[in-house]
Structure 1
Amino acid sequence: MTTHDIAVIPGDGIGHEVTPAALEVLQAAGRRHGHGFTFTEYDWSCERYLREGAMMPDDGLERLRRHDAIFLGAVGAPGVPDHVSLWGLLIPIRRAFRQYVNLRPVRLFEGIDSPVRGHIDLVVVRENTEGEYSEIGGRMNRGFPDEMAVQQSVFTRAGVTRVLDYAFDLAARRGGHLTSATKSNGIIHTLPFWDELVRERAAEHPGVRCDSEHIDALCAKLVLDPGRFDVIVGSNLFGDILSDLAAAVAGSIGIAPSANLNPERDFPSMFEPVHGSAPDIHGLGVANPIGAIWSAALMLDHLGLPAAADEIVAAIAAVLAKGDIRTPDLGGTSTTTDFTEAVLTHL
């Protein structure tokens, strides 16, 4: 049996509820294909920050580097500013391990009521390490009437090109259609540069139909006609917004998975549900585990087990299609454990 070494960071809030569910399903699917997992759990979280003044220890990245992959539950808690928790854990991991692709599949499963009409099966590819989420900038004249804040975006040829190539390759394997999110009519430097690189890479991928949409119009079209999209690629900020919007269009942000990928595999990749720590329902046992379970499937695919990954997604689909087990965010009364056990039974 092949064994994979996984770092596990449950994090905060419902991360402690959905992470065990995802790992249980991960183990069950892996066993069916002769693969096992060892888990090393780290208590890096807002609770640790309040206790010790840091989200993770100084050698945290070195510890993670030894693992085959990282599974993260959620980050964020009342009492700790979001920029502190995010920049203290999630973003350093993404950047140190060059996880420049944030992959977010979106699908409308049978049995889920969507607020919009139409077929939905798309993937958002988000640039994950630069763009609008840079560290360049600062504050001046704090507390005075002329107080100001400056935030610089960073778009590099290397950074944009590599995520575009990933998106074009993915589109070629799927429906052959790529949509680029831009705003080059209003943002004068970075987004025209993005558009230029999109045209360059499109010329290298003649088999993929490529179009560009301004981000505001794209959001509207994603609501009005989501079935027209296959692969959407965007900058760090645009990809972040679009993937959450698409998840809501597909029924609930609770079902949305994500993968932070280092495609070259020089460093471990990280997998996490999109939904966040949801402190309002933490401890009630009703958190939707689909986003975490689907993220575990993305991990399996990355580890070279696509058949096992497909079986997990098929099990999720089967349970939802049956319709009798669903968590409150999907209009049901089932618990996290109820849904997890139903997926395990199907597997």
Structure 2
Amino acid sequence: MSSSRTQPGYRIASIPGDGIGPEVISAGITVLKKLATVLGSFNLQFNHFAWSSDYYKKHGHYIPDGGLEDLKKYDAIFFGAVGAPDVPDHISLWSLRLALVQPLQHYANVRPTRVLRGITPPLTSTAASPSNLDWVIIRENTEGEYAGQGGRTHIGKPWEVATEVAIFTRHGVERLMRFAFETARKRRRKKLCVVTKSNAQRSGLVLWDEVAKLVAQDFPDVEWDKMLVDAMTTRMVLHPETLDTIVATNLHADILSDLAASLAGSIGIAPTSNLDPTRANPSMFEPIHGSAFDLVGKGTANPVGTFWTAAEMLRWLGEEKAADWLMVCIENVTEKGVRTPDLGGVAETEEVTGALCEEIERVCSGKGGRGSGGRGREALEAGEY
């Protein structure tokens, strides 16, 4: 497929990072390049940044001087994972991922969750069936429990004190809450659940409740309710059909989104968008599975989370049709049974990647329609996705 108009071009900063990050980011770039070539409607230029735990052990830091300013020249960031067995987790997280998210104002972390075609969710005896589980979890991403405020005194003494202070600002809560209501408004069901723990955390999370109530007045078309985070875990498992868009604090949504991914089949399929909704800075896109060092070098890392993340990146860049086509091709592949071991299959990373590239060629070039298996070009052009 080709286009006679001038093709938009996007510069993507690739930060594969640690563990299986390089494996899945490489697979994601292969698929994105294939999609761009077949569609012929946009161009992608990737520039790789070797910021990783190996880089840290060699240089003493993850991000070199001027690194953030370099990133601001790009349209988006494609991020793999951070974390190594011989680097304390709090050092790797705060020195790379959070060192990008916070100064680049990626205050909205968006994690869609649904059961992809061909994947059987683990709790099939419960209400968490494909028709019932279709959510977007929105996580506050720059303050809250991960604000980085606190410290330790009298280290090693019996009277040692360690504090971790959760910081909630009205500005931070309100901008995220408005983003959540706007997201819910764009979805078919127009439902939002606000998750806190305001019975026990009576200052910061009472502020969350109060701001939610105020912001809701500007969105009369959105049906909303609120839930304590502990009760929310059971609601997600037993009554997923009652949920659609979910908003929660940095810590709570971090935990809930991992539960959501597992309910949908595997943490290996889950995407993340770290967004600066003002678009003053490039947003960052990453699968949520982490570095997964137990899988490094085995060739079995699930690349689907990275592929879905790539689709979300395209959507954010304005290539919505390409994102739709990529998601259809991903689900055609999972429906055909080309799945890694975490989804009960036997396929390796390269096999899944190759199958997806073939599916992109088949569907997006017009070589395959409904009669070729899966959902094809006809369904996409009819707007059925």
Instruction: Identify the TM-score tier after normalising by the shorter chain.
Output: over 0.9
> Partner residue of 1:152?
165
- The separation in 1 between residues aligned to 2:194 and 2:35, in whole angstroms, is 35
Q: 1:24 aligns with which of 19, 30, 36?
A: 30
CA shift digits 1:187-244 (9 cap, x unpaired): 1101111000010011110000000000000011111122221000001111111111
- The equivalent residue for 2:12 is 6
Q: Secondary structure at the match of 1:79?
A: coil
Give the one of 91, 109, 119 matched to 2:116.
109
| TM-score using structure 2 length | 0.88
Q: Distance in 2 between matches of 1:102 and 1:71?
A: 14
Task: Identify the match of residue 161 of structure 1 among 150, 174, 177.
Answer: 174
Task: Give the whole-Å Cα distance in 2 for the aligned partners of 1:33 and 1:245.
Answer: 38
Matching of residues 45-60 of structure 1 within 5 Å: 45-60=52-67
Q: Contact conserved, 1:134 with 1:154, CA < 8 A, in 2?
A: yes
Other structure's SS at 1:4 match: strand
C-alpha distance after superposition, 1:28-65 (max 9, x if no partner):
22330511111110110111111111112122111111
Q: What residue number does 2:150 align with?
A: 137
**1:134 partner SS:** strand
Distance 2:324 2:212 in 1: 31
Q: Secondary structure at the match of 1:71?
A: strand
Q: Find 1:74's aligned residue among 69, 81, 89.
A: 81
Q: In 2, Cα distance between the equivalents of 1:50 and 1:226? A: 44
> Which residue is 2:252 aligned to?
238
Mapped pair 1:306 → 2:288: no
Q: Which residue of 2 aligns with 1:341?
A: 354
Give the TM-score, by structure 1 length. 0.98
Q: CA deviation at 1:23?
A: 1.0
Corresponding residue of 1:292? 306
Distance between the aligned counterparts of 2:54 and 2:241, measured in 1? 41
Q: Distance in 1 between matches of 2:106 and 2:320?
A: 20
Of 328, 331, 343, which aligns to 2:344?
A: 331
* AA in 2 matched with 1:90: R
Task: Answer whether contact 1:33 1:308 (CA < 8 A) is retained.
Answer: no
- Aligned partner of 1:261 in structure 2 is 275
Q: For residues 281 and 99 of structure 1, what CA distance do their matches in structure 2 show?
A: 29
CA distance in 1, matches of 2:260, 2:159: 39
How many Å separate the matches in 2 of 1:33 and 1:161?
A: 40
Is 1:84 aligned to residue 91 of structure 2?
Answer: yes
Looking at structure 1, the residues matched to 255 and 40 of structure 2 have their Cα atoms a distance apart, in angstroms, of 36
Distance 1:219 1:29 in 2: 37
Pairs aligned (count): 346
**Which secondary structure does the structure 2 equivalent of 1:57 belong to?**
coil
| Structure 2 letter corresponding to 1:125 | I
Alpha-carbon separation, structure 2, partners of 1:223 and 1:276? 23
Aligned to 2:137: 124
Q: Secondary structure at the match of 2:15?
A: strand
Instruction: Report the AA paired with residue 171 of structure 2.
Output: A
Question: Structure 1 vs Structure 2: percent identity of aligned residues?
Answer: 47
Q: Is the 8 A contact 1:19 1:292 kept in 2?
A: yes
Residue 136 of structure 1 aligns to a residue whose secondary structure is strand
Match of 1:271 in 2: 285
1:191 and 2:205 equivalent? Answer: yes
Max Rg structure: 2
3-state secondary structure, aligned to 2:148: coil
Question: How far does the alpha carbon of each residue in 1:68-90 deviate from its partner, in whole angstroms, 9 at most, with x for none?
Answer: 11000111110001110111011
Question: What residue ranges of structure 1 are gaps of 5+ in the alignment?
Answer: none
Moved more, 221-230 or 327-336: 221-230
Determine the C-alpha separation between the residues in 2 that align with 1:250 and 1:203.
33
Which has the higher mean CA deviation after the structures are superposed, 208-217 or 29-38? 29-38
Offset at residue 141 of structure 1 (A):
0.7
Q: Residue 103 of structure 1 contacts residue 124 of structure 1 at CA under 8 Å; is this kept in 2?
A: yes
Contact map agreement 1:254 1:289 (CA 8 A) in 2: yes
The question of 1:65 aligning with 2:72 is answered yes
